[in-house]
Each structure stands twice: as structure tokens, then as C-alpha cells.
Amino acid sequence: MSVKIRLARHGAKKKPFYRIVIADSESPRDGKFLENVGTYNPLVDPVQVSLKQDRIKYWIDQGAIPTDTVKSLLKKEGLFASFT
């Protein structure tokens, strides 16, 4: 079982809101996940990102791999360099 840190889309049509979740790589995008570790709202200016840093660090230490989009969000928040 490969675990990924990825986005799950919520919100209405044309008004996306994302949760940053820990999920099995084979589960659907908006399907079952292991843990909710943050949110991402691209509609506000500036973009709003909230993260549970301790849980993200825990999952990366356990071998979870962030997707490219989540990796860029973590880098913008200054977190990804401290985890690797």
C-alpha cells in the first residue's frame, strides 16, 4: 500500500475548495482517506492554506509521498525543506 499526501476537491461548481488528505494511492480522488491534514482555498486573495505541520511531518516520516501540487504548497509555506 502506497500512501500519498494529496488534494481532495470539495465545494460547488466553479468554486473549488480543497482538503489536504493522507490517502492510499489507489483510492479515488474524493473517496476514502486516512486523515485530513489541512485545507487549501485558491479563491481568496492571498491564497489561504492551513496545515497540521506535526501530522504532515509524521506521515512523511512514515513514507507518505506528496503529490506535485501538495509539494509546491508545502514549499510555499516553507515546510517541505524542513521535512526532507
Q: Supply the DSSP string of 13-58, one letter for each residue.
A: TTEEEEEEEEEETTS-TTS--SEEEEEEETTSSSPEEEE-HHHHHH
| CB-CB contact of 51 with 37 (8 Å) | yes
At the top level of CATH, the class of 3-83 is alpha beta
Q: What is the pLDDT of residue 28?
A: 84
Residue with cell 516553507: 78
The pTM (predicted TM-score) of the whole model is: 0.87
Q: Tens of pLDDT along the chain (84 residues)?
A: 699 999 999 999 999 999 999 999 888 888 889 999 999 999 999 999 999 999 999 999 999 999 999 999 999 988 766 655
